[in-house]
Structure 1
Amino acid sequence: MRGLLVSALGVLLLAGHARADHNHPVPVKLPLVSMVVGTHLSQTLNEFVTVFSGFVHKKTGSNVQLMQMAGESGMISADYVTQSADDGSVFLFSTHSTQSVNNMLQKTVSYSPEQDLVNVGIIGTSAAALVVPAHSPFRTFSQLLDAIRLNPLDYRIGYYNSTSQVAAGLFNYYAEVNMNVMPYKNRALLLHELAINGIQFAFIDGIFVHDLLKEKKIRVLATTGDIPGIDTNAVELTAKLHPDFVLEGWIGVAAPSKVPDDVVAQMRSVMRDALADPNIKLAMQKTGLKPVDNVCLNIEQFIKHDAERWRKRITLAKITPR
């Protein structure tokens, strides 16, 4: 549970509403800062991390390292951060899963997002992509739908995290079919099964799609929302199946609950500057992340409303906590 892969690259990705909102925060000299992420990073995400880490170092003078702790939809990384020092030296690369959805999909979660973490802010949002293997005979979303409706028992869909699980359940619901939904421990195993036809399609987080397209491992047939860099003229929306079939996750930053307000305020200031930086904007676009339009002024309210949307989707998808 505590196994770590420590990279020389790192980043503080911070924005949103702090417990104390300072328009002009007093600069705080932070110690070596660790940013904990709960997934294996793709190439484009690593590129984003490189650009951002240089920006943060320039603004704060702090050295930043990335700690990858993948597993259990981010619960391992979140649990680690909640038990870390609250001096501003450790932050969580948070998501909709770590901050709300895990509590809906798991009977037991070892941390409390509300009590053990403070949400520093939102970085950006990303939809999911419905993908088939590159060698699939299906070229469009409509072709896949027609084939599944004709012989639903011939098809299987896979998932590996909370987003792909909910999206798979919603597909069954809105398509009015009952395909087998196959669970996989991680993204790599799911992609392997996709390549050998163990499953015929799956939903992948938009932030991982561009690397897989470059490697010619997948074909994108539809998306659950806007993914920067994906041509919406060539790819359909799942909203074609049903107007409510829209799914969008987010990435942000959280910290141990007692991190000082002045540290949080400084990080918010850094994020405001970062989101305006052209190099960072380009790196985000390549990753498939859509920046928030404005700095989120009430992060807790945003997460509360977002969690309710996910709760409704999980109910429709007929997913019960395990």
Structure 2
Amino acid sequence: MLPQGLKRRALLAAVAATPLLPSIVRAQADWPNRPVRIIIPSAAGGAADFIGRTLGRFLEPHLRQPVVIDNRAGAGGVLGTEAAKQSAPDGYTFLVSTNSTHSANEFLFRRLPYDPVRDFAHVGLLGTFATIAVVPAEAPYKSIPALVAYARANPGRVFFGYYSSSSQVPAALLKARAELDVTGASYRNITQIVPDLISGQIHFAFLDALSAAPALQSGRVVPIAVSAARRTVQHPDLPTVAESIPGFVVEGWFGLTAPAGTPRPILDRMGALLREAVADQAVSAALVRQGLTPGFLPADEMDRFLVADRERWRDWVRIAGIQPE
């Protein structure tokens, strides 16, 4: 047993060696004591925006703090993701991460202002989704084979619109696999595509179900196929692209991510809440209605999922022949 004097000196030495520990522990124990921000790397009205707002409404009563939605659209999610990277890793900023921000952009851009692995800590995966191939209601082609035939009969005069990897890659893959002479038109966000599609300025696009929903409900655009491996619950009568072009599958995902260095206890608590959200019947039903297949993965499993997902997007971008911007 140490003499009393030595015990006291040992205790003082331990305290001196960890001067910040009490304040760090106290800050984490008090979290959150002010509003929490969720950055959406796209415009209001899209799928990521819907998911972020749905998640925010679920989180507010559990966190007992307001959840502020911060839309940062542009550059295929790069602007919003960079803003998340530059935010303080204090547990008050999160990002709705996507296959664009953390898988595909690495191969679509020559230089990214962030590292999708090093600069972030993941909270969890919410689920996966496929996109819907849509055409103007007055178009003479109402299926993938008919669209392919139309494009071959009109080389160089058919255009598609895209705003992210989920919309660009399947369209470019269709172009490559069917050997079509079609041209892509880049848009800042998804809400700009639908008017040009309705007016016939572009001939087809791959859109997420949520963003396409108003136009589909109005009958001004028509769905012709989904990019999933199998027909979806939301559109059981809609064929997959793979039914016409074997092996054609492109699926995306949504998750929640924080700046690297965010304290692990906060990430764990938010991860537990994310799991509860996905399991919540009302939240899950809302996500399904908007085209998402809910499937929670915790942070460690999401990390492993993304290793394989980056390879998938690398292959899809290569096969599609997309040159990095």
* Alignment partner, residue 272 of structure 1: 275
1:104 to 2:107 alignment:
yes
The 1:150/1:43 distance shift into structure 2, 3 A limit, reads closer
Residue 280 of structure 1 and its aligned partner are, at CA, apart by 0.5
**The one of 164, 174, 177 aligned to 2:167:** 164
Letter in 2 for 1:260: P
1:230 aligned partner:
234
| Aligned pairs (5 A) from 1:238-317 | 238-292=241-295, 295=298, 297-317=300-320
Aligned-pair CA distance for 1:116: 1.3
Is the Cα–Cα contact under 8 Å of residues 136 and 203 in structure 2 kept in the other structure? yes
2:145 aligned with 1:148? no
Mapping 1:74-223, distance limit 5 Å: 74-223=77-226
**Alpha carbons 1:47, 1:283 under 8 Å: kept:** no
Contact 1:148 1:155 in 2 (8 A): yes
More displaced stretch, 33-42 vs 159-168: 159-168
Deviations 1:119-150 (A, max 9, x none): 22111111111111223233333322332233
Q: Report % sequence identity.
A: 29
Change (3 A) 1:316 1:114: same
Q: Deviations over 1:164-197 (max 9, x none)?
A: 2211210011112222222233323322322222
Asked if 1 retains the 8 angstrom alpha-carbon contact of 2:107 and 2:314, the reply is yes
Alignment-mate amino acid for residue 42 of structure 1: G
Q: Write the distance in 2 (CA, Å) between the matches of 1:189 and 1:44.
A: 14
- Partner SS for 1:236: coil
Among 29, 32, 42, which residue is 2:31 paired with?
29
Query: Does the Cα contact within 8 Å between 1:118 and 1:254 map onto a contact in 2?
Result: yes
Structure 1 residue 289 displacement after superposition: 1.1
What secondary structure sits across from 1:131 in the alignment? strand
Query: Cα deviation per residue 1:212-235 (whole Å; 9 max; x = unaligned)?
Result: 3234332110110168563232x2
How many residue pairs align between the two structures?
Answer: 296
* Contact kept? 1:94, 1:253, Cα under 8 Å: yes
The DSSP-based 3-state class of the residue aligned with 1:113 is: coil
Residue identity in the other structure for 2:156: L
Q: Secondary structure at the match of 1:298?
A: helix
Q: Which runs of 5+ in 1 are unaligned?
A: 1-25
CA contact under 8 A between 1:227 and 1:289: conserved in structure 2?
A: no
* Cα 1:41–1:287 shift into 2, 3 Å: farther
Q: Post-superposition shift, 1:43?
A: 7.5
Unaligned runs of 5+ in 2: 1-27
Cα distance in 1, alignment partners of residues 63 and 163 from structure 2: 37
**1:192 alignment partner AA:** P
Separation of aligned partners in 2, 1:74 and 1:145: 30
Which SS does the other structure have where 2:117 is aligned?
helix
> Partner residue of 2:324?
321
Residue in 2 that maps onto 1:62: 65
Question: Contact 2:125/2:297 (CA < 8 Å) preserved in 1?
Answer: no
TM-score, structure 2 normalization: 0.83
**8 Å contact from structure 2 (residues 38, 93) kept in 1:** yes
Distance 1:288 1:117 in 2: 26
Q: Which has the higher helix share?
A: 2
Between the aligned partners of 2:183 and 2:49, the Cα distance in structure 1 is 34
State the TM-score, normalizing by the size of structure 1.
0.84
Distance 1:301 1:251, change over 3 A: same
For the residue of structure 2 that corresponds to 1:173, the secondary structure is: helix
